[in-house]
Amino acid sequence: MNTTQKNDNRWIIILGVVVVAILVMCVLPPLMGFGVTFIESLDVSPEVNALLNAATFLVSCLPFLLIPGLFIGYFVYRHLNRVRFGKPEVIVPQTLRVGDLLPVQYRHTFSRDVTCDLFSVQLIFEERATYSQGSSTRTVTHEQVVAETVLANRTFQAGEMIADTLQWQIPHEAMHTLKAPRNVLRWLVRIKFVIPKAPDYADEYEITVQPEIAR
């Protein structure tokens, strides 16, 4: 069994960007105003004055256009692969017992040529713990890869279809799904494409494992 762990810092980064954006929006226009007032005090011609006013208006608008633009750009970049080759079809049972067989069916037709560094389907048992640290709330996750199918370094042609039915099992010694406040144990099937020079494509399908042993 393979284990990985990660800290979930995405929201801290997004919050940081938003705070910086608000600060820039607050500080830049007054600074420009001061600049224009200073230039006007130099007694320039009305044409130059009009140009300066137009420039001030444009520069003042810039953060309001640029920052949402950056957010939209980031969102499009993150979802580029979904747009480029669509969403694979994955069928997994929603509810199982400990020890039950887990059939995972997946199918995907590529709409264009794609070279994948890695294509994987994983069965994951995840611990997700949330705690307070000072005034902030942090979440840490620990993933245990229970089963995995990997295809590495493959080029898929446009129109090529990949399809398979995997037969896995929730191990008999495993824990069931638990959703307590701030303490979550859950089972996931994750399908992932790693594509060079593009964001990874990953999709997750949660399975509820009941506190019952399959005989």
Partner 1 sequence: MSKAQINIALMNGEPLAEGWLFRPGDEVRGSTTIMPQEDMNCRSVYIILQWRTRGRGTSHFQTIQRLDVHQGELKADWPLSFEFQFVLPEEPWSYTGHYINVVWEIMVGIDLSWQADPQQNMALQVSPKR
Residues that bind partner 1 (CB under 8 A): 3, 5, 98-99, 127-132, 140-142, 144, 172-173, 175-176, 178, 180-183, 185, 211-213
Residue 72 CB, nearest approach to partner 1 (Å): 35
Residue 15 CB, nearest approach to partner 1 (Å): 21
87 vs 93: CA distance, rounded Å: 18
Q: Which amino acid would we find at residue 56?
A: T
80 vs 202: CA distance, rounded Å: 12
Residue 178 CB, nearest approach to partner 1 (Å): 5
Residue 93 CB, nearest approach to partner 1 (Å): 19
Q: Which lies closer to partner 1 via its Cβ, residue 191 or residue 207?
A: 207
Q: Give φ, ψ of 64 to 5 degrees.
A: -70, -30
Q: Taking phi first (over 0 means left), then psi (-120 to 50 degrees means alpha), and beta for anything else, what does residue 138 get?
A: beta
Pairing between β-strand 95-98 and β-strand 201-213 as defined by DSSP bridges: parallel
Q: Which lies closer to partner 1 via its Cβ, residue 9 or residue 155?
A: 9
Residue with tokens 């003042």: 60
Q: Which amino acid would we find at residue 10?
A: R
Q: Which lies closer to partner 1 via its Cβ, residue 197 or residue 215?
A: 215
Residue 180 CB, nearest approach to partner 1 (Å): 4
Q: Give φ, ψ of 108 to 5 degrees.
A: -155, 135
Q: Which lies closer to partner 1 via its Cβ, residue 108 or residue 186?
A: 186
Q: Which lies closer to partner 1 via its Cβ, residue 90 or residue 175?
A: 175
Beta bridge partners of 205: 189
